[in-house]
Structure 1
Amino acid sequence: MTTSILPCLSRVSLLLLLGAGRVAYGEVGAPDDSTFVRQAHRRAVFQFDQRFSILNGKVVGINGLKGGIEWRGRWRAGLGVYRLSGGVPTRIAQPVGTPPGTRDEVRFRYLAAYGEYVFIGNQRWELSTPLQLGVGSYYTKYYFPDGGVRRTNREVLFMLEPSVAAHYRVFRWIGLGAGAGYRQALAAGKQPEDEMSGVIFFGRVKLFLGDFIKVVRGHERLFTQQGLGPAH
């Protein structure tokens, strides 16, 4: 009788140990799984996307605002609008007859559709691969010594911007991020003499609108770590 009970107890003990191991390593819904954040519902995400790049040998800022939808905590898609924060001196020879002392600047702006894939992260942080496809225009602006201003015709410009980005949630509803990538510019017509392509690096302030609404509706404290879990 004793010999028949012992193998059964051994099998039960083994099953209990295996079950405990799965829980300990996050195989059964552990909250600290760092593969990615699983969210079954969709939520809106907005970003102030400040980009920097090198244009004609000068570091310039590109101001941007993006809005989109996130689903399953792993995919994002949406639209953004960007513009060069200030004019940059061109490399183009000024037209014949231009008065001495004339200042010229190249400017551009564009609308971008973006997609983003989160390949690792948790409730606190994440690492992702954004890709943007944009279309816009560029032109040259001339400032004459007498105060006059003239602008050339706009030329169509296409942008392809692959990058790698990361962000860290400071609070449940807002996070800070940064990243780097490359901007490839393609002109539809006349090729720009100014160098529009180049390395990009950026900083972000991300507003998680869905979480913000939940915090406000639930009368929760804004500046709290609730819902973020342990930091890793």
Structure 2
Amino acid sequence: MLLALPAAAQRPDYATDSAQLHRRPVFQLDVRNSILNRNFVTLLGLKLGVEWRGRIRTGLGVYFLSSPIPTRQPLPIELPPATRTELRFRYVAGYGEYVLLRTRRWELNTQLQLGVGKSYTRYFVPAGPVLRSPKQVIWLAEPSVAGHMRLFRWFSLGTGLGWRQPIFVSELLQQELNGPVFYGRAKISLGDLYKTLRFKRRLFSQHGLRADN
């Protein structure tokens, strides 16, 4: 004899709806902070990828400095000593992310980015033109660990910590670009938000996030 479950029981647990999908697209504004040449800087990024069964995420990201920083690159001899210099760089990175721990409330993951881009220096000559050095190809490796806590079905807060390491570049440029990476993050799961609205669930409910649900 076959038993039919009630309609409500047939719905997947919304707290793990996304994890049950075979794959889904992931879009993220990735804003990271770092220390470069003893200066606090912000790296603006945009990531697009795919999540597989809630455990593995892969994709591509584009990053650039939100504001330039002073550089320690030697000043060309033909420029006056009062010339002001700025370091600029941008890069494209492929990333792989693995979820180490996932519960109804918490997630802990590790990520590795491998990137390639361009770096150059701008020279602000007093009472003169703004010049630019030839662009240099840079390669970057960035491992990191991050975690977040789900506050509601569709909204999480988290933080992460990592290290940016240039490779295949000169020693001086490596010293300029390497450094810690850290960030805070607010995450909105559009899939879970859609299900919350579609099934008319309470927007700020804790149902499904507690162990006794």
- TM-score scaled by structure 2? 0.79
In structure 1, the partner of 2:76 is: 95
> 1:109: how far off?
0.8
Does the 8 Å contact 2:73/2:172 carry over to 1? Answer: no
Select which of 180, 188, 199 maps to 2:180: 199
In structure 1, the partner of 2:44 is: 63
In structure 1, distance between residues paired with 2:91 and 2:83: 27
Residue type of the alignment partner of 1:107: R
Deviates more, 1:149-158 or 1:168-177: 168-177
Deviates more, 1:118-127 or 1:221-230: 221-230
> 1:130: how far off?
0.8
In structure 2, the partner of 1:228 is: 209
In structure 2, the partner of 1:162 is: 143
Does the 8 Å contact 2:167/2:174 carry over to 1? Answer: no
> 1:110: how far off?
0.9
In structure 2, distance between residues paired with 1:127 and 1:133: 21
Does the 8 Å contact 2:160/2:184 carry over to 1? Answer: yes
In structure 2, the partner of 1:48 is: 29
Unaligned 5+ runs, structure 1:
1-30
Q: Structure 2 vs 1, CA of residues 171 and 67 (structure 1 numbering), >3 Å: closer, same or farther?
A: farther
Aligned: 1:138 with 2:119: yes
Does the 8 Å contact 1:48/1:204 carry over to 2? Answer: no
In structure 2, distance between residues paired with 1:44 and 1:211: 13
Q: Structure 2 vs 1, CA of residues 226 and 101 (structure 1 numbering), >3 Å: closer, same or farther?
A: farther
Question: How many correspondences in the alignment?
Answer: 197
In structure 2, distance between residues paired with 1:215 and 1:142: 53
Does the 8 Å contact 1:46/1:207 carry over to 2? Answer: no
Does the 8 Å contact 1:46/1:208 carry over to 2? Answer: no
SS at the partner of 2:196?
A: helix
SS at the partner of 2:187?
A: strand
- TM-score scaled by structure 1? 0.73
Aligned-residue identity in percent:
53
Q: Rg larger in 1 or in 2? A: 1
Does the 8 Å contact 2:71/2:176 carry over to 1? Answer: no
Q: Structure 2 vs 1, CA of residues 224 and 101 (structure 1 numbering), >3 Å: closer, same or farther?
A: farther
> 1:182: how far off?
1.3
In structure 1, distance between residues paired with 2:138 and 2:158: 27
Unaligned 5+ runs, structure 2:
1-11
Does the 8 Å contact 2:27/2:48 carry over to 1? Answer: yes
SS at the partner of 1:146?
A: coil
In structure 2, distance between residues paired with 1:111 and 1:96: 33
In structure 2, the partner of 1:172 is: 153
Residue by residue over 1:71-120, the C-alpha shift from the partner in whole angstroms, topping out at 9 and shown as x without a partner, is 22211111111111211111122112313432101111111111111111
Residue type of the alignment partner of 1:55: L
Aligned: 1:111 with 2:92: yes
Q: Structure 2 vs 1, CA of residues 214 and 147 (structure 1 numbering), >3 Å: closer, same or farther?
A: farther
> 1:175: how far off?
2.0
In structure 2, distance between residues paired with 1:112 and 1:150: 28
In structure 2, distance between residues paired with 1:46 and 1:170: 20
